[in-house]
């Protein structure tokens, strides 16, 4: 598999080229300013997951990341999900954060991509510093439609499973060190049966010495750290830093993407595809997700404390500290250097709603339910609005996407992001927990939340 120009986390940026003029660009050579200290900028909630300390004003501008926890996520409820616009860094209150439109249907979570949208993404609130993660899932299908199950760190180490919707018998695997493009890192695993119609269990086993990708319990690929030495940079080009589990559906075939990305994704997306006609969106189906933390008495890979942070800009595994530093901000006015700033009432903006609102970018109610599903109105009926709840924009105004943003609309017109307009209810109900849940999709940094 050859993908043009950028690794997965960065390749998605092509779908959201609109950048806000008031959001300065940060890089390894041009650090963020003190008034907007995190590399994610403007959206201070991104001082939590997705803040790259190497590009931020200082290493401690980013909030420490919650340590790994062994856990089985049943994916039969959205009660433990929280919109990124409401999350203040407490993993005891949420297992996942995100943006876009995940749906609860027939005991599973669907990640959806309605017409002209940029999909849905979920990320765990805790970080895995080596270990094993399994996902029981069905992929999406369709030209230009991509499903991803990955590990992604704040400094852009990445271990991937990707599934292109025109090839339902191949799991594409890849890895990157600190976001550096190297397309010799990819490898394919053949799937025994259709990945859209049949559940399969995909697993990543990750240790300081190797990565194994398994499908249905069988090893399909192994990559050893000893094979990744880079003599030019004098270091191992091997993923090695605490990473979140991320699940997503995204439009690799979006017309605004680089041609190489479109070609890799199987061509331009057809927004009149039968999936859209029949169900109102493209979708991927997720069942149980299992995380087992790496078991070791000393670093790297421990999880004895409360949080991980970096003590050096090199951001390699010997610079990760397993610490007792807190992870919770008092408000969205707070930063990593002043976590108690604010009165605790400032919120990302997602508000509760008593009815099921439209999926951003959606049209009229689709004629059919998701295949194999039961009554979509069974179960909990608590709902939230369809927006991302961006604290930096008012309702009805599409917030621009920064290079590491987390926004549904990414500068496009229509009912996305903070918009609360009525675009037609879906055939599957969004089932939420106690808090409003506006969760997931910003393709500008879809994996950098």
- Neighbouring-strand partners of residue 235: 230
Which listed residue (35, 86, 101, 162) is catalytic? 162
User: Position of tokens 């690799």?
Assistant: 252
- The verdict on whether 203 is a catalytic residue reads no
Which listed residue (158, 203, 275, 429) is catalytic? 158
- Nearest residue to 158 via CA among 19, 265, 50: 50
- Nearest residue to 314 via CA among 1, 18, 54: 54
CA distance 422 to 362: 9
Through-space distance between the first and last CA atoms of the chain, rounded to whole angstroms: 26
- The verdict on whether 162 is a catalytic residue reads yes
The angle at the Cα of 192, spanning 186 to 195, to the nearest 5 degrees, equals 75
Identify whether the C-beta of residue 332 lies closer than 8 Å to the C-beta of residue 346. yes
- Going by their DSSP bridges, the two strands 352-353 and 320-323 should be labelled as unpaired
What is the sign of the dihedral through the CA atoms of 176, 139, 362 and 105? negative
* Cβ neighbour number for residue 6 with a 10 Å cutoff: 17
CA distance 419 to 227: 48
Cite the active site residues: 158, 162
């Amino acid at each position: 598999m050859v993908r043009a120009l950028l690794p997965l986390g960065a390749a998605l940026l092509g779908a959201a080229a609109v950048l806000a003029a008031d959001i300065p660009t940060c890089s390894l050579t041009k650090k963020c300013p003190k008034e907007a200290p995190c590399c994610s900028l403007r959206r201070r909630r991104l001082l939590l997951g997705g803040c790259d300390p190497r590009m931020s004003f200082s290493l401690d501008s980013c909030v420490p990341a919650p340590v790994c926890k062994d856990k089985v996520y049943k994916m039969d409820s959205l009660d433990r999900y929280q919109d990124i616009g409401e999350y203040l860094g407490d993993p005891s209150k949420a297992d996942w954060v995100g943006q876009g439109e995940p749906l609860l249907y027939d005991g599973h979570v669907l990640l959806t991509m309605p017409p002209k949208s940029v999909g849905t993404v979920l990320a765990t609130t805790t970080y895995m510093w080596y270990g094993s993660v399994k996902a029981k899932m069905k992929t999406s299908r369709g030209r230009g439609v991509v499903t991803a199950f990955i590990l992604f760190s704040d400094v852009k180490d990445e271990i991937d499973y990707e599934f292109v919707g025109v090839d339902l018998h191949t799991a594409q695997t890849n890895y990157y060190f600190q976001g550096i493009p190297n397309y010799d890192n990819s490898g394919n695993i053949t799937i025994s049966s259709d990945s859209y119609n049949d559940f399969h269990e995909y697993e990543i086993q990750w240790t300081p010495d190797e990565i194994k990708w398994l499908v249905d319990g069988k090893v399909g690929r192994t990559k050893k750290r000893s094979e990744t030495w880079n003599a030019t940079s004098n270091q191992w080009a091997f993923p090695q830093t605490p990473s979140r589990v991320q699940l997503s559906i995204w439009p690799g075939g979006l017309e605004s993407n680089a041609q190489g990305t479109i070609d890799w994704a199987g061509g331009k997306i057809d927004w009149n595809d039968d999936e859209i006609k029949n169900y109102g969106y493209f979708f991927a189906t997720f069942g149980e997700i299992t995380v087992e933390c790496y078991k070791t008495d000393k670093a790297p890979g421990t999880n004895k404390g409360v949080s991980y942070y970096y003590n050096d800009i090199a951001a390699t595994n010997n610079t990760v500290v397993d610490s007792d530093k807190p992870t919770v901000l008092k408000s969205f006015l707070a930063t990593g250097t002043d976590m108690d700033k604010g009165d605790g009432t400032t919120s990302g903006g997602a508000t509760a709603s008593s009815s099921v609102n439209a999926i951003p970018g959606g049209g009229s109610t689709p004629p059919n339910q998701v295949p194999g599903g039961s009554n979509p109105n069974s179960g909990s009926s608590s709902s939230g609005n369809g927006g991302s709840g961006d604290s930096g924009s008012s309702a009805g105004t599409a917030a621009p996407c920064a290079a590491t943003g987390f926004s549904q609309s990414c500068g496009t017109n229509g009912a996305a992001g903070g918009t609360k307009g009525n675009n037609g209810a879906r055939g599957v109900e969004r089932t939420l927990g106690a808090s409003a849940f506006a969760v997931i999709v910003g393709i500008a940094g879809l994996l950098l939340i």
